[in-house]
């Protein structure tokens, strides 16, 4: 039994059942067109031209047998890139070969593609049908809001596999009401995927939090880190009451707590609670030095736990209140009619509204 009572298997023996309707959980199962034009070509801002597979002048090329079909796009590199192909050290060694050396692919990237093929083959062997299930729909139970740090991969540290987490990551796992990317992810997770849990997970020794504690300028990112500086200022006495070695970790925890509350302050989450949707928001912190997650024991799952100033009026309770008011006005109007009276203009307008 895994997280929150749901059964998960290890990612190397992943048996993930996807029983959600395809139209409910699928973000996009179709093909994307990139700036297509009538001539069959699409143009990228960096000067490269992408030629559609349906181009009137198709060119032969080798196809990796590991894939069921070739890519839908072909890349015509600029003159600079072509010159790089000619001057690439490996070009002379491959003189006369069918395919030129691609200067955009280093050895490390080629290795990544090779690792991907091996991983896909291994997953197919261990869990036949997994990719077919995932291609039809996704049905994650959890939205993960974490830090972009490469040492904190969400699925890895939770022992999960493809399809188990819906993930949003940014610098220092900050949640603010002006971040349209985060809010879009939150809305999709709550209203379409119907996740039951939202986890805000930070990590100790977070570079974003440590940088926010300094007075140096770093450029554009200073505007983002300002959110963490605000957390520091709001908790300055508590932070300055601990030793220097613990201050950064305490700020990490306070930053997670602030993001948890900010998630709860959104109309997206409060409307879900108002609809009766089961939804809990949790605060966790991962420790890179030992690979363990620290549960901050911060869990909010109902609107009563939201600070009053951030709590929106319940649409359900407001609707009931209006219905009661209208019933009272209707009843008063009937009684007045029986007594030969008419409704007051203001009350009549309220009923009409």
Q: Which sequence positions are flagged as catalytic?
A: 147, 149, 151, 203, 206
Phi first, then psi, for residue 129 (nearest 5°) are: 90, -5
Separation between Cα atoms, residue 127 and residue 121, nearest integer Å: 10
The token pair at 251 is 């700020």
What are the angstrom distances between the C-alpha of 317 and each of 31, 137, 307, 331? 43, 35, 18, 21
DSSP H helical segments within 313-352, as ranges?
A: 315-338, 345-352
CB 72 within 8 A of CB 53: yes
Q: List the 280-287 sheet strands across, edge first.
A: 165-170, 142-147, 197-203, 280-287, 292-300
CA distance 232 to 254: 8
Q: What is the DSSP string of 171-220?
A: GGG---TT-HHHHHHHHIIIIIS--SEEEEEEETT-HHHHHHTS----ST
Which helix H or strand E contains 296, and what residues bound it? strand 292-300
Q: What is the Cα–Cα distance from 239 to 218, expressed in whole angstroms?
A: 23
Place of tokens 């896909």: 120
Cα–Cα distance measured from residue 352 to residue 24, given in angstroms and rounded to the nearest whole number:
38
**DSSP label at residue 11:** G
CA distances from 75 to 34, 100, 131 (A): 13, 13, 28
Tokens of 223: 């505007």
Interstrand relation of 292-300 and 280-287 (parallel, antiparallel or unpaired): antiparallel
Which residue has tokens 């990112």?
221
């Amino acid at each position: 039994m895994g997280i929150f009572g749901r059964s998960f298997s290890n990612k190397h023996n992943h048996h993930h059942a996807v029983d959600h309707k395809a139209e409910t959980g699928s973000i996009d199962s179709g093909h994307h067109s990139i700036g297509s034009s009538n001539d069959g070509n699409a143009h990228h801002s960096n000067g490269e031209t992408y030629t559609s597979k349906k181009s009137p002048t198709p060119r032969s090329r080798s196809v990796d047998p590991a894939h069921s079909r070739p890519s839908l796009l072909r890349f015509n590199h600029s003159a600079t890139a072509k010159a790089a192909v000619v001057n690439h050290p490996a070009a002379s060694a491959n003189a006369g070969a069918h395919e030129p050396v691609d200067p955009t692919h280093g050895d490390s990237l080629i290795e990544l593609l090779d690792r991907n093929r091996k991983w896909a083959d291994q997953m197919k062997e261990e869990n036949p049908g997994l990719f077919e299930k995932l291609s039809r729909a996704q049905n994650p139970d959890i939205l993960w809001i974490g830090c972009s740090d490469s040492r904190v991969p969400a699925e890895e540290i939770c022992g999960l596999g493809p399809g188990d987490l819906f993930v949003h990551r940014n610098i220092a796992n900050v949640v603010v009401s002006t971040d349209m990317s985060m809010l879009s992810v939150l809305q999709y997770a709550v209203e379409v995927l119907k996740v039951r849990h939202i986890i805000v997970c930070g990590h100790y020794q977070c570079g974003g939090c440590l940088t926010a504690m300094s007075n140096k300028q770093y450029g554009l990112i200073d505007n983002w880190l300002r959110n963490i500086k605000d957390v520091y200022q709001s908790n300055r006495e508590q932070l300055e009451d601990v030793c220097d070695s613990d201050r950064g970790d305490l700020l990490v925890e306070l930053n997670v707590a602030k993001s948890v509350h900010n998630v709860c302050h959104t109309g997206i989450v409060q409307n879900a609670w108002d609809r009766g949707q089961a939804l809990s928001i949790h605060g966790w912190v991962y420790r890179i030095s030992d690979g363990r997650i620290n549960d901050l024991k911060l869990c909010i799952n109902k609107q009563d736990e939201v600070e009053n100033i951030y709590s929106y009026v319940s649409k359900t309770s407001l609707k009931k209140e209006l219905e009661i008011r209208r019933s009272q006005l209707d009843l008063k109007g009937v009684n007045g009619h029986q007594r030969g009276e008419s409704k007051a203009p203001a009350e009549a307008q309220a009923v009409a509204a």
